[in-house]
Structure 1
Amino acid sequence: MSGNGKTLKVGFVGLGEIGAPMAQRIMQASWPLTIYARRPQALEPFRNTPAIAVPTLRALGERSDMVCVSVFDDAQIEAVVLGEAAGDGLLAGMRNGSVIVIHSTAQRDTCRRVAAAAAGHGSAVLDAPVSGGPDGAKAGTLAVMVGGDAAPFERCRPVLESFSRPVRHVGPLGSRQSAKTISNALYAAQGQLVDEAVSLGASLGLDRRALIDMLQAGSADSFVLRRYANTASLDYWVKQRGTATGSVVDVLSKDARLYHDLAASAGHAAGDVGRLAEAFASALRERDGKA
């Protein structure tokens, strides 16, 4: 038990490019922290720190009142929480009243399946995918909108505030996953639009850098354009190599698929946003040699 009044025991799995700094922020805020990783190198930043590393997911569950899950996709979420074999997932060790917080971007139905299984163990699930990237995680300024029941949210809120600002409850389980999927697809669609527009300018003989500077100075400026401006090409995204959670190319490809699945589940056409998000992911894969 901590001597600073912070008695909620926190577990963390998914120590990748965003997950590792999130876990470090939790530790720096003096919450008792237990971590798990399959790759020994993911544990290196936590060597000689108060964080305790455990060898299994079940052990992580046993030591935690709340576990943050920041892995790549739906399959990994289910493997971590439910286990790849009987008795080896988080739920096998978690106590009645514990909470699992899913920070990965995933399908709503995955969160609901995991929540149904957790309820059978007396545990709750919150979906809380983050926005803000590695820099936001390091600075403690990630945006975290949370779906799920209000009581476990309020219990976990102080921990979430160690790495995010703002933290808001937005509705029932799955609410935040839907919003994050829409946000990610719109981001990718904007990336495709920017690249198409700048490439057209270049084909007309305009200097790419001068055109981008002009666009940034006017009404066409945007968050995505400012990122594109770093390299004046798609290389900004291609050069960002992820860790355990995959490269940015992998993540954006996954996000495009999730958007199409979400639209289909609502009986809604994916439309131009879906088409452009998919085109952006395809362009990145081609440039990265993954096509």
Structure 2
Amino acid sequence: MEILLNNPLTNLDSSTFQLVYICLIAALLIIGRLGLRSLDETAARPALPSPRQPNPYELAYLRGGLREVTRTAIFSLVERGYLQVRPSDLPTLVQATQPPALGLLLPLESAIFNHFTTPVTTAEIFQANSPLLAQVKLHCTPFEDILHKKELLVSSEMKLKAWGNIVLLALIIIIFGGYWVYAANANGRGGSFIVVLLGLVGLALVLYLCRLPRLSERGRLYFQQLQTDFHTLQVRPTEAAASPAGPYSNLTVAVSLFGSSVLSGTAYSPFQQMFQEPDSASRSDGGGVSRWWQRLVRR
């Protein structure tokens, strides 16, 4: 028992152990990020060609999931004359008084159209437990299945392995720091609070930086290629009138790929102001800090 409380590790003073602990956490984070690369083998798959007539709802689901599909579909309905924006201090969306033929709508579009019998704000659309999002989710299953078959989304098996790595890294941080804190308290030494704080920060970083992004590496590269191939839609979106029956307009495809910000300066600016959103591609890969780590470990 004596050797457990008095050994080279437990006899380190507080400042020295804190430095060692920080180095350990940093090393574990690097190992964790590198481990993610080994879990995702999709980068070695052949690149997929960009579709000549892209499905904007499939692209929107790839870009940001359920909420992006909802934004894109609502915009398509506005552009085609099924929904209208009522400008005010708190703008709302509502069914058009004389919409085109409802039989032309897809099931997803019909579900969304039927939700707007009364004026609805964007806050109500995206609120927790939103009935509209619940409806849209039912219609997104085919998009998710297609993207999984193309290996553009991270699989459940990859997520499970990633969580196993996270648990292992977290246990190392907890056991290493907890052991020193226990020995320090038993020997009457201070400095435990800072070590506990470092451990909590380390656990938070492991949970944030060592989780898999939404898109697989193949999906990330494919989405980047799509944005490159359709870049002209971002810089010069076309405002040609959309047919109620489709095919989808360039503006709808642009919204699905780049978000509603592409509508700024067009006739649909009020829609863009209603639906201002963070970059979904950023959310999908874990945010700016996570992207910085991804670039670091790829070098």
Instruction: Please state which structure has a larger fraction of its residues in strand.
Output: 1
Instruction: Please state which structure has a larger fraction of its residues in helix.
Output: 2
TM-score by length of 1: 0.26
- Bigger Rg over Cα: 2
Higher relative contact order (CA 8 A, sep 6+): 2
TM-score by length of 2: 0.25
